A = this chain, B = another copy of it.
Amino acid sequence: MSPSNLMSRADLDFLLHDWLRVSELTGRERYADHSRETIDAVLDLSAELAEKYFAPHNRASDLTEPRLVGEDVELIPEIGEALRRFADADLVGAAMDAEVGGMQLPYTAYLACMAWFYAANIGTAGYPLLTTGNANLLLTHGSEEQIERYVRPMISGRFTGTMCLSEPQAGSNLADITTRAEPQPDGTYRLFGQKMWISGGEHQMAENIVHLVLAKVPGSPAGTRGISLFVVPKFLVNEDGSLGERNDVVVTGLNHKMGFRGTVNTAPTLGQGLHTPGGQPGAVGYVVGEENTGLKKMFTMMNEARLGVGLGATALGYTGYLKSLDYARGRPQGRPTGADPASPQVMLTGHADVRRMLLAQKSYVEGALALGLYCARLVDDEKSGSPEEAAAAKTVLDVLTPIAKSWPSQWCLKANELAIQVLGGAGYTIDYDVEQHYRDNRLNPIHEGTHGIQGQDLLGRKVLAGGGAGLAALTERITETCDRAAADGPGSELAELAALLRPRVTRLIEVTTALAEVGASDPEAFLADATEYLEATGHIVIAWMWLEQLLALGSRVDEAAEGSDAFAAGKLQAARYFLRRELPIVDAKLDLLASGDRTTLDMRDDWF
């Protein structure tokens, strides 16, 4: 497989440099040690490592599932090798502060690097995704001691990290977790309970595993306000950093999944009595910050993880697109409608319906990649911009996060479905990668907050936050883009496409306002169709991303229209595809939301 089948470097360069001007970030203090050259070098290295150490065992990870042997989990050794290479290249801490051993790379460049690894092998790349999220949470909320003991070894690759939220009886609803943390005289806690769906929860690829665990201290408030966050290491860590006793957090079962198999998914039990560190029962835990502030802290990690999940979904869609394109270009089959039956066969790309399926994929995956990197750029503004820039970036990022998680999870899965279809029967076999990408990608609308939860988050919290500041900030940016496109002059391609987007933004604002009024009196009706709201907003945002890309092409759009600039012509055609052929589905969703339809609300359990 050629490297070009994982991601498109040309597209990444265009997005990072021509559009998001990532090099300009190096003028800011935080990124002063970087330059276009260092960014390019890390991208080169990521592409090389992804190609050499991640892609080759992608199928092997799928065929050889993790196995539970006693208390241990056995993975194929290629996963460990890949993670060592990744850590040795300093990529775990690529975006972290230099003072803790990080590379302090702009987050935008870091996410672009991660796309290569996700495209190459999402199962293996799942481990660093969790580890960096865990480390970033502790860097933000942990004590200096916790950073020293747990974060530095994660950055160097000696430890990996997990996030332990769900329990068998509490998945989407964390208010009902029952894992309890009993305070000890020495300030530590002893944890007892059962966790579920814990990715990377056990393996032999690192010296230690740092679990971040949500639990309740007896007597704490009911609901989510009584949740605390604990560090629960697999092995206790001594003051000098050496490993101590085995802690009583033990995996008691594995979940066998339809895809994403390289990332072991576990059901760990805390305080079952298999180990008694210090001679006492319970898993030793260390509270992060104050008691009863756990869920909010966990969201630091969750928000980052949601961008990561969205980017992972995007990368799976992207590589599936490139692979189906490659197949379509090399597979002769049939003739265009109306052609002489005695004429030679054309390649699959010679059929309009195949070009439709490829163009749909291109519009989804490149649109989703643009959104992911745009969000990453907002993270950089939060981290390195002026206080005003940082605040503005945070407002928009908060609104975009549920979309950046859910839209790629839905539409890059759809892209994988189309990739299979382009290959036909071949796409349904394990001889090609696309069926695995489809299975792997099906996880993404489920984990890190289901699709439905993202809708509740967007409509129930984000767009109306700060008196509607979230939606206002987002729609102002979209409108500003439309203004710039319209400035290209009446009758121009850009102005025409902007004219498709603008009225839908106006309508979104109207519908949101009307929904907010419903919410004042009937919160259930308000959020009943939050998923439809999420999907409508998502399509508007991706259409915006396409307009942004055309604007970034500048005068190349004119050459694109003539076909002399293939890259620009592809972008233009994909933008046309998305705005003309995909964006209109928004209308039916906004109409539905405006209608106050009660079909699902009124449905009764006994009527099914």
Q: Which of A12-20, A291-299, A578-586 contacts B (4 or more CB under 8 A)?
A: A578-586
Q: How far is the CA of A529 from the CA of B337 in the complex (A)?
A: 12
- The verdict on A176 contacting chain B, using a C-beta distance below 8 Å, is yes
Q: Which of A305-313, A342-350, A467-475, A509-517 contacts B (4 or more CB under 8 A)?
A: A342-350
- The verdict on A591 contacting chain B, using a C-beta distance below 8 Å, is yes
Q: How far is the CA of A591 from the CA of B353 in the complex (A)?
A: 18
Q: How far is the CA of A607 from the CA of B566 in the complex (A)?
A: 5
Known: A451-B421, A607-B566. A256 touches B429 (CB 8 A): yes
Q: Which residues of B contact A601 (CB under 8 A)?
A: 352, 355
Asked if A355 and B603 make an inter-chain contact with CB atoms under 8 angstroms apart, the answer reads yes
- The verdict on A99 contacting chain B, using a C-beta distance below 8 Å, is no
Asked if B429 and A258 make an inter-chain contact with CB atoms under 8 angstroms apart, the answer reads yes
Q: Which residues of B contact A581 (CB under 8 A)?
A: 592, 597, 599
Neighbour of A602 across the interface among B425, B524, B573, B587, CB < 8 A? B573
Asked if A603 and B359 make an inter-chain contact with CB atoms under 8 angstroms apart, the answer reads yes
- Could you tell me the dominant secondary structure of chain A's interface residues? helix
Considering the complex, which residues of chain A in the window 166-189 have a beta carbon less than 8 Å from any beta carbon of chain B? 166, 169-173, 175-176
- The verdict on A274 contacting chain B, using a C-beta distance below 8 Å, is no
Tell me the count of chain A residues lying within 8 A, CB to CB, of chain B: 103
Asked if A460 and B337 make an inter-chain contact with CB atoms under 8 angstroms apart, the answer reads yes
Q: Which residues of B contact A460 (CB under 8 A)?
A: 337
Give a binary string over A130-157; 1 marks a CB under 8 Å from any B CB, 0 the rest.
Answer: 0000000000000000000000000000
Q: Which residues of B contact A588 (CB under 8 A)?
A: 584-585, 587-588
Q: How far is the CA of A342 from the CA of B223 in the complex (A)?
A: 7
- The verdict on A442 contacting chain B, using a C-beta distance below 8 Å, is yes
Neighbour of A566 across the interface among B224, B439, B606, CB < 8 A? B606
- The verdict on A37 contacting chain B, using a C-beta distance below 8 Å, is no
Known: A438-B442, A585-B585. A359 touches B258 (CB 8 A): no
Q: Which 5 A-B pairs have the closest CB atoms?
A: A173-B334, A338-B523, A223-B341, A352-B528, A584-B588
For the complex with contacts A175-B341, A356-B600, A585-B588, 4 further pairs of A-B residues with Cβ separation under 8 Å are A170-B333, A258-B430, A337-B524, A421-B451
